[in-house]
Amino acid sequence: MTRILVTGAAGFLGFYIARQLAADPANSVVCVDSFVRGRRDVLYRDLTARPNVSHVTADLCDPNAVAALPDDIDVVFHMAALNGTQNFYERPFEVVRCCTLPTMNLIEKYGPQQRLKRWLYAGTSEAYASTVTRFGWEVPTGEDAPLSFDDIFNARWSYGASKAHGEIATVNGCRHFGIPFTIARFHNAYGPRMGDKHVIPDFLARARDGVYELYGHEDTRSFIYAEDAARATILLANADVAAGQVVNVGSEDEMTIRDLGHAIMKAAELSGEIALHPSPKGSVKRRAPKIARLKELTGYAPDWTLQAGLKATAEYYLSDAAVAYDLAPSQD
């Protein structure tokens, strides 16, 4: 059995990764979450009820809670973080705590044991967003873009800067302890269970009431479906050649938010006019990754088209499943 720890497993991407890993009976998956954002909804209960999956409730900011996690772990997917633009502005210190202390505590625990075959850290495009907006770095953006932060007094950067700390902690902590690591830099994953603080669920929440509105319609992004993002991440963790690498995970299909809105309407079979509003102050105008490195190291190609992914996401958010997620208890 390969013993795998997935942090943030009750959240969005951690859940998909844990579920794909659990589909292989040769894996034994330990899911960890504090439920600061993730929820124990019906899908998470199904996952953690499987015979090769267990769940631990732990605040990874607490070194004692991390010390109490199982020792016999072969691979860590460190996905826990406090994500969501609203959180960056409303609880920036909590964002800094949850994006830095768990990384340090986990490396301090698993590093000295020297058992880990791979430490997979979830990086983010937010860590280089200022390099694009302030210094005009190219889009689509490769992994070589310098990381930078526009203004340390703007709470928005509580997240990007803390996640950059995680990359530095990963490189230096793993080198210090001699652990093979990979940094997967995620770019706009989407799908059911993604929370409500992103453009797609935000649009669909209003669409439930027959209101079609978009903010930042001229901004561009590219979107990767959660199942594809999870598969790419697992491929990276298993690829010897991905050890010691930073690798973008995302899609190269850059599109405007306006076109995204129309694609959601089509996928969800909705009709009506979309009211278009400008971007909120400080929003990132363009974002899209180069994913040549991911393809070269793993042979990755997406399974999901945008239309299929948006259809599945719209079905979730237009049904009562998203409401049930919000109401799901975080504790037994």
Ligand X SMILES: NC(=O)c1ccc[n+]([C@@H]2O[C@H](COP(=O)([O-])OP(=O)(O)OC[C@H]3O[C@@H](n4cnc5c(N)ncnc54)[C@H](O)[C@@H]3O)[C@@H](O)[C@H]2O)c1
> Helices in 111-256 by DSSP H: which ranges?
129-135, 157-177, 199-207, 226-238
Q: Cβ of 276: how many Cβ atoms within 10 Å?
A: 15
Contact flag: residue 302 with ligand X (CB under 6 A): no
End-to-end CA gap in the chain: 28
Find the part of the chain contacting ligand X (CB under 6 A) among 4-12, 135-143, 146-154, 287-295: 4-12
Whether omega for the bond prior to residue 92 falls within 30 degrees of 0, making it cis, is no
Contact flag: residue 33 with ligand X (CB under 6 A): yes
Size of the site for ligand X (CB under 6 A): 29
Interface pattern 119-138 for ligand X (x via CB under 6 A): ---x-x--------------
What sign does the CA torsion over 159, 162, 166, 168 have?
A: positive
**Cβ proximity to ligand X, 33 vs 179, nearer residue:** 33
Least distance (Å) between residue 275 CB and ligand X: 25
Compute the distance between CA of residue 43 and CA of residue 13 in angstroms, rounded to an integer.
13
Least distance (Å) between residue 189 CB and ligand X: 4
Find the part of the chain contacting ligand X (CB under 6 A) among 135-143, 181-189, 253-261, 314-322: 181-189
**Cβ proximity to ligand X, 212 vs 314, nearer residue:** 314
Contact flag: residue 170 with ligand X (CB under 6 A): no
Q: Cβ of 51: how many Cβ atoms within 10 Å?
A: 8
The C-alpha angle with vertex 41 and arms to 39 and 310, in degrees rounded to 5, equals 90
Least distance (Å) between residue 44 CB and ligand X: 9
Find the part of the chain contacting ligand X (CB under 6 A) among 59-67, 137-145, 170-178, 213-221: 59-67
Compute the distance between CA of residue 132 and CA of residue 74 in angstroms, rounded to an integer.
37
- Answer for which of 43, 47, 81, 267 binds ligand X (CB under 6 A) is 81
Question: CA torsion angle for 324, 325, 329, 330 (degrees, to 10)?
Answer: 180
**Cβ proximity to ligand X, 129 vs 212, nearer residue:** 129
Copy the structure tokens of residue 85: 């633009």
CB 70 within 8 A of CB 31: no
Find the part of the chain contacting ligand X (CB under 6 A) among 27-35, 213-221, 302-310, 311-319: 27-35
- Residues in 89-118 at the binding interface with ligand X, rule: CB under 6 A: 98, 102
What sign does the CA torsion over 137, 309, 81, 64 have?
A: negative
- Residues in 186-245 at the binding interface with ligand X, rule: CB under 6 A: 186, 188-189, 195
Give contact residues for ligand X (rule: CB under 6 A): 8, 10-14, 33-38, 59-61, 79-83, 98, 102, 122, 124, 163, 186, 188-189, 195
